[in-house]
Chains A and B, each alone.
Chain A
Amino acid sequence: MFLEEFKASCKDNKLIFIIIILQFTTALTFLNISINGLNTIYFKKTSFNQSLDKNYYELIDNYTGNNEVAFKNEQDNLKRLKDFYHLLIQNENFNYMEMSFQPLYVKDFQGENKFLYGYKHNQNQPPILLDNGYYSYVYSIQINETTITEFNLKLEDGEMFMETDYLYHKDTPIPVLLGYDYMSVYNIGDEIEIDYLQLRTKIKVKGFLSKNSSVINQDTIVYLDRYIVFPSITFNMDPFNSFEKGIQYRAYLNKVNGVIVANELSPNEVQNIINNLTKISSLNNFIIIGSNNDQLDILNLQASKFIDLTVILSILISLFATISLILSICNKFRRNMKNYAIHLINGSTIIYIKKFIALEILFYMLCANALTILFSYIFLGYFYYSTYILLTTVLIIFLTLLIPFKMIHKINVSTLLREE
């Protein structure tokens, strides 16, 4: 009985039927996606705000090409680099943040292509054959304690780096954290063979970062979900051969190309301090890229504008879709009234008719919600369903039921039946 009438009602005007479902879906989808957007932006904003009132100065060495070769060939330079690094770390005027994006070679990598270095630019490299197997080049970042606190990095699972984790021991695997997306690839405790700047060693999974963890590098946000987060290791002992010396050189050159986080200092003051430190450690050729503060301001401004725009736009679209949905539903049920009138002179009651209406609206709701979840997958790349959508659905159902219910209470059967 119900099914029969429902089918008839849908068939009566297929266009309105489809339009109603589309309007319902539009209302919910925009809300869903914007709520999702808000969540991510809110997340970004909190990490921005943290770094907003801070001045970032990027430290960049000038040892490139021939310069670098000459630099490495000089006997004491490794020691000078190490000294300089320790001065940076120990300086009381600022915090020193290490963040280098040196990819790793991972042996027998089983993860998806998205983890591979170059994926973002469609330039995946096939695994290469090193002496004991195939190695894939994957995204990795090397960080220190300051990076973790600066960007408020949190864990989904496992344990954070401890101080000793940053220290390289020849025979112990290096503990690493993995980006959220790696949860489907590795487990905590897994040991993986890698090659980091020709240092052939093992890493051990210590934990996973929470979803959407990010850092800011040269004014852009870098999400770490697909990164291997590697502690920026320090080498306590002197290299015992030239091969190891090369490794340490490369590692320390990366380490001194970090970011100075200085709130109370002007760019000039920072430059002076650095000049001073390089002099002490007998290095030169360090330049500083200015304060990131302005750029961060801009970013932050854009973010908050984006929030306003998304919120306003999505609320408008949702609202518009809801209103037109209600209109369509009124229209739909107005068309059904004649049919209901016939039912009403043939043993039906108002309560039954209300059940017809409710069933139909319920069906619209189910379709719209299912489609909303589907669209979330299409637009966001994963299934997302905010609980607010459920609340909104209930609200819309309530609103849309109200009007046809009112109509049916005021139904004028005789007039409807007189219509041809």
Chain B
Amino acid sequence: MLINVMDLYKYYHHGDSITKALDGLSLQVKKGEMLAIMGRSGSGKSTLLNILAGIDYVDKGKYYYDNKKVPLNNQKELSIFRRDKIGFIVQNFALIGYKNTFDNVALPLKYQKYTKKEINSKVMALLKSVSLKDKANKYPHELSGGECQRVAIARALINDPELILADEPTGSLDIKTEEEIMDIFAYLNQELGKTIIIVTHNFDIAKKCTRVIHIHEGKITA
């Protein structure tokens, strides 16, 4: 089992009302799975993914990754866990405005020991596979929503992570690009054995995954 989370709770309090973003959710994911998470808006999909990525705090719950406990509320150790294991595509892309496409994608590599040449060839190869080669020098504000999304995807993949978390990675793409992206995910999953978790509203995408779960009000329903 690659991922094993148990009894996750995450409540938001606004005065008297409580939003139960996660309400005792448990989930296991095997190595090599390609999992789709579906559910209505506000059901807690992003919250779950953020916790799996180690970027959100939980109220309660346990998280084992590869049978090792993930220190859920220790930022210092979480940051190392993230760096070593996870490629994360957040819902709103989170690109750095003052970096162009190339530098945004190259960012994770700059935290490792790569030569300029290595960085250059890796980034350009990946940009080619997401059809962004000619946008390498453009800044985020010069790109369309779909292009930004593909930059975010490329950046999540550049480090060759074993777990890829994607929060609606094809939300603003046309069908053709969406298919291209899904082909990449499928390739990563089937050929390279990467574990992939995708949050999506799109049944076509869900169909391409090995398993689909549904979340409702912070719990898995099916």
Contact = CB atoms under 8 A, between A and B. Distances in A.
A8 B98 contact: yes
5 contacts: A347-B107, A347-B110, A349-B83, A413-B50, A417-B94
A408 B75 CA distance: 8
B92 A409 contact: no
A343 B83 CA distance: 10
Given A341-B55, A347-B110, A411-B75, 11 more contacts: A341-B94, A344-B79, A345-B53, A347-B107, A347-B108, A347-B109, A347-B159, A351-B79, A408-B75, A409-B75, A414-B47
A346 interface: yes
Contacts of A413: 50, 55-56
A350 to B, nearest CB: 4
A420 interface: yes
Contacts of B47: 414
Interface in A11-64: 11-12
A419 B119 CA distance: 30
Contact of A414 (B55, B80, B83, B159): B55
B55 A417 contact: yes
A1 B110 contact: yes
A417 B83 contact: no
A345 B90 contact: yes
A386 interface: no
A418 interface: yes
Interface string B65-100: 000000000011001101100001011101110100
Interface string A403-414: 000001111111
Contacts of B90: 345, 417
Interface string A344-360: 11111111100000000
A324 interface: no
Interface residues of A, number: 28
Contact of A344 (B55, B91, B96, B159): B55
B57 interface: yes
A348 B84 CA distance: 10
B75 A410 contact: yes
Contacts of B76: 349-351, 409
A348 B83 contact: yes
Interface in A238-285: none
Interface string B32-55: 000000000000001100100101
A347 B53 CA distance: 12
Contacts of B108: 346-347
A296 B82 CA distance: 74
A339 interface: yes
A412 B79 contact: no
A339 B94 CA distance: 9
B87 to A, nearest CB: 9
Contacts of B110: 1, 347
Given A349-B76, A350-B79, A417 B111 contact: no
Interface in B105-149: 107-112
A342 interface: yes
A351 B80 CA distance: 9
Contacts of A349: 76, 79-80, 83, 111
B94 A348 contact: no
Contacts, number: 72
Contacts of A408: 75
Contacts of B94: 341-342, 345, 417
Contacts of B83: 347-349
Nearest to A351: B76
A350 B75 contact: yes
Contacts of B82: 344-345, 347
Contacts of A411: 75
Contacts of B109: 347
B143 to A, nearest CB: 16
Nearest to A338: B94
A420 B83 CA distance: 24
A350 B53 CA distance: 15
Contacts of A415: 56
A6 to B, nearest CB: 12
B106 to A, nearest CB: 10
B155 interface: yes
Sorted from nearest, which 6 A-B pairs have the closest CB atoms?
A347-B108, A413-B55, A414-B56, A414-B50, A347-B111, A349-B79
Contacts of A1: 110-111
Contacts of A412: 56-57
**Among the interface residues B46, B80, B82, which one has the most CB atoms of the partner chain A within 10 A?**
B82
Interface in A190-227: none
Contacts of A409: 75-76
A360 to B, nearest CB: 16
Contacts of B91: 418
Contacts of A339: 96
A251 to B, nearest CB: 79
B220 to A, nearest CB: 20
Nearest to B98: A8
Nearest to B47: A414
Contact of A345 (B46, B55, B75, B80): B55
A344 B111 CA distance: 11
**Among the interface residues A1, A346, A411, A412, which one has the most CB atoms of the partner chain B within 10 A?**
A346
A348 B111 CA distance: 6
Contacts of B95: 342
Contacts of A11: 98
Contacts of B111: 1, 346-349, 352
A1 B116 CA distance: 12
A163 B101 CA distance: 86
Interface in A376-417: 408-415, 417
